[in-house]
Amino acid sequence: MSSPISERGYARPDVLVSTEWVAEHLHNPNIRMIESNEDPLLYPSKHIPGAVQVDWTLDLNDPIRRDYLKKASFEALMSRIGVTPETMVVFYGDKNNWWATYAYWVFQLFGHGNAKVMDGGRAKWEKEGRPMDRIVPQYPATAYNAPDRDDAHIRAFRDAVLRHVEAGGPLVDVRSPAEYSGEKLHMPEYPQEGALRGGHIPGAKNVPWSRAVNPDDGTFKSAEELRQIYEGEQGLEPDGDIIAYCRIGERSSHTWFVLTHLLGYPNVRNYDGSWTEWGNLVDVPIEK
């Protein structure tokens, strides 16, 4: 059983809340629970009472070009789910919160800093037998004014990644070992599609995203355990300029969350183009 969040030595323990904390704050009007899953059918089947769904494909992405939603669309999303700039949003979801941290990361592109993640995610809440229902709540629409999307500080694009590779900068490939080696183009249980070539970006260290969580309950490992993984085993330097990537940027957002918030690394960017872009680019280097 994992220790309390406050005892795990995180740089920012305030970005995590426990299932107990959520249960105690279910009826707080200043808190909005947000469920984000890989499987969009989970939320309508049952969810935490009062929670809204943010669908990663429909709500967070531009419908035409491969990019995230623009400022006006983000403002419309926040208005629809009844969130103001002062509202605390708490993310949770399936797959040990990998999609919850993805939504969290997108929200940070628009500066909504009053955001947290429920440690252990949906599976832990269900395992503990806590209440769930099928009621889709309706909240009064809000007027939400967002800043312009900030792509400079926590997001990396392909040209910047290429310069990073040429300069010998540290990269973390958070995919499975089979994807990293080039044997697979996606995790073994998924369709093998999306890239013409397998392999990894030259110089990248392979640290699968799931190593950051405890397998028994999906909670995050302690800071000491995380430092052993990223620094002890892989030699990452906390002050380095680090780029994380996966296949489409969702698993690497989980690792970005761990390195940035739990370990306090100041310079970590998520390359959301990831392998579906890099594995299809002309004249960029790969390793197998």
pLDDT in tens, 243-255: 999 999 999 999 9
Average pLDDT, the chain: 95
Q: Taking a C-beta distance cutoff of 8 angstroms, is the pair 179, 261 a contact?
A: no
DSSP state letter for 219: P
Alpha-carbon distance of 137 to 33, in angstroms, equals: 11
Q: How large is the C-alpha radius of gyration of the chain?
A: 18
Alpha-carbon distance of 260 to 24, in angstroms, equals: 27
pLDDT tens digits along 66-94: 899 999 999 999 999 999 999 999 999 99
User: pTM of the entire structure?
Assistant: 0.96
Amino acid of residue 192: Q
pLDDT score recorded for residue 184: 81
Q: Taking a C-beta distance cutoff of 8 angstroms, is the pair 220, 8 a contact?
A: yes
SS3 helix, strand, coil % of the chain, rounded to 5? 35, 15, 55
DSSP state letter for 87: -
pLDDT-wise least confident of 29-33, 62-66, 207-211, 221-225: 62-66
Q: Taking a C-beta distance cutoff of 8 angstroms, is the pair 109, 71 a contact?
A: no
Q: Which residues contact 56 (CB under 8 A, 6 or more apart)?
A: 36, 38, 99, 102, 103, 250
Question: Between 3.30.2350.10, 3.50.50.60, 3.40.250.10, 3.40.50.920, what CATH number should domain 158-278 receive?
Answer: 3.40.250.10
Give the bridge partners for 53, in sequence order: 35
What is the distance, to the nearest Å, from the Cα of residue 249 to the centroid of all Cα atoms in its chain? 8
pLDDT tens digits along 119-148: 999 999 999 999 999 999 999 999 999 999
**Residue 108 main-chain phi, psi, to 5 deg:** -70, -25
- Domain ranges across the chain: 5-127, 158-278
Is 5-127's fold the same as 158-278's?
Answer: yes
Which helix (H) or strand (E) is 33 found in, with range? strand 31-35
Alpha-carbon distance of 246 to 252, in angstroms, equals: 5
Structure tokens at 24: 């105690």
The residues that are catalytic are 246
CATH homologous superfamily of 5-127 equals Rhodanese-like domain (3.40.250.10)
pLDDT tens digits along 182-207: 888 666 776 666 777 899 999 999 99
Q: Is the pLDDT of residue 267 over 80?
A: yes
